[in-house]
């Protein structure tokens, strides 16, 4: 289906109040889920993501997440411009950011800025809306109890999806044991409802041309900051300078070393559900390791 760039540019006109005439739409590589374009006009450009019209709520949630992080004024995020549907496509238009090269200073700055974003808190866990992690639904119903939030809306939710896809046996048995015994991992630790990016792997962080850190493609909610940091470690790509700078602003509890595996189990279960059995063994060995810590 061809893209109706004219309709998208009219939406840009309407929200910015400045006429925007499309000169070219250049397809970009790098996205996991959506197709991405640089939309060049005669006086400015935008970054645009497209997907099937049925997935417009995914873009609405991303739009809201970028607004939430922008409001915290801690880390630069692309300004969300407009999202909606046109001719069979869902679209999300963002400020276009030219990326540069990171260095020790920008790594440190991201560490400090992320700690400041995590200091943005609200009185309950969850968020005002659900969103997606990868393309999987992520439930963010508000809760005063972090353990039950994580148990029900993160672990049990992914385990149920896995069961529906036929992943039973040990994965489910050990998953259930972890859900019932997880409190043991939180002895003497009181998580706080921090604003989280929610999907902070290295592919969702960059620096702009001024070497200022930028984070994007979020799955925001308010939760334990350790969950965001854990994800930065899951696939690597964040430097020692980043972690040292984070800890200098807001040191981590010593139990993070174990809990990070617990938090990352959520993402690995999501990978089992999205990409299949290759991740199954990783999920099973993470569970076995966590259960051995609890016993
Ligand atoms: P997906 O939702 O498909 O995973 P991303 O949001 O990760 O897509 O974007 C895909 C790629 O496009 C990123 O890896 C990044 O290189 C680039 N990108 C993301 N946001 C912007 C932006 N606002 N301006 C310019 N390039 C961007």
Last residue of a domain, one of 76, 95, 114: 95
Last residue of a domain, one of 68, 95, 122: 95
Q: What percent of the chain has pLDDT over 70?
A: 100
Residue with tokens 């070497």: 211
* Cβ of residue 209 lying under 6 Å from some atom of ligand 1: no
Reported as type and span, the H/E element at residue 13 is helix 5-16
- Whether 72 and 144 share a structural domain: no
First to last CA, the chain: 55
Predicted local confidence at residue 88, as pLDDT:
86
Six-digit token string for 44 = 């400015």
- Residue range of the domain that includes 209: 104-294
Predicted local confidence at residue 204, as pLDDT:
97
* Cβ of residue 47 lying under 6 Å from some atom of ligand 1: yes
Select from 56, 201, 217 the residue to mutate for testing ligand 1; criterion: most ligand atoms less than 8 Å from CB: 217
- CATH number, domain containing residue 162: 3.90.1200.10
CA distance 155 to 269: 8
Q: Using one digit for the tens of pLDDT, what is the confidence trace for 136-170?
A: 999 999 999 999 999 999 999 999 999 999 999 99
From its phi and psi, is residue 156 left (phi > 0), alpha (psi between -120 and 50) or beta? alpha
Active site residues: 199
- Whether 32 and 154 share a structural domain: no
Which ligand 1 atom is the nearest neighbour of the CA of 98?
A: 25
Q: What percent of the chain has pLDDT over 90?
A: 95
Q: Cα torsion at 243, 151, 283, 136 (round to 10°)? A: -90
- Rounded to two decimals, what is the model's pTM? 0.97
Q: Using one digit for the tens of pLDDT, what is the confidence trace for 207-248?
A: 999 999 999 999 999 999 999 999 999 999 999 999 999 999
Ligand 1 mean position to 70 CA, how many Å? 17
- Whether 32 and 134 share a structural domain: no
């Amino acid at each position: 289906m061809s893209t109706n760039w004219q309709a998208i540019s009219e939406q840009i006109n309407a929200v910015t109040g400045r006429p925007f005439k499309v000169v070219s739409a250049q397809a970009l590589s790098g996205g996991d889920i959506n197709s991405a374009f640089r939309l060049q006009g005669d006086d400015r450009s935008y970054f645009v993501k497209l997907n099937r019209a049925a997935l417009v709520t995914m873009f609405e949630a991303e739009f809201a997440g970028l607004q939430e992080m922008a409001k915290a004024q801690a880390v630069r995020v692309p300004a969300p411009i407009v999202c909606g549907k046109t001719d069979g496509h869902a679209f999300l238009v963002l400020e276009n950011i030219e990326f540069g090269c990171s260095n020790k200073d920008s790594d440190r700055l991201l560490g400090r800025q992320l700690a400041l974003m995590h200091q943005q808190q609200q009185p309950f866990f969850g968020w005002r809306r659900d969103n997606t992690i990868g393309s999987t639904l992520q439930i963010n119903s508000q809760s005063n109890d972090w353990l039950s939030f994580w148990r029900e809306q993160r672990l049990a939710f992914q385990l149920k999806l896995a069961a529906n896809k036929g992943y039973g046996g040990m994965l489910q048995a050990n998953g259930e044991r972890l859900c019932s015994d997880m409190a043991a991992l939180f002895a003497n630790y009181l998580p706080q409802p921090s604003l989280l990016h929610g999907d902070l792997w290295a592919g969702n962080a960059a620096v702009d041309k001024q070497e200022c850190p930028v984070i994007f493609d979020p799955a925001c909610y308010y939760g334990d900051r350790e969950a965001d940091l854990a994800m930065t470690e899951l696939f690597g790509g964040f430097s020692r300078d980043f972690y040292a700078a984070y800890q200098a602003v807001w040191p981590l509890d010593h139990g993070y070393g174990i809990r990070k595996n617990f938090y990352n189990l959520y993402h690995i279960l999501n990978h089992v559900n999205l990409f299949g059995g290759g991740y199954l063994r990783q999920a099973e060995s993470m569970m076995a390791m966590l259960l051995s810590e609890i016993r």
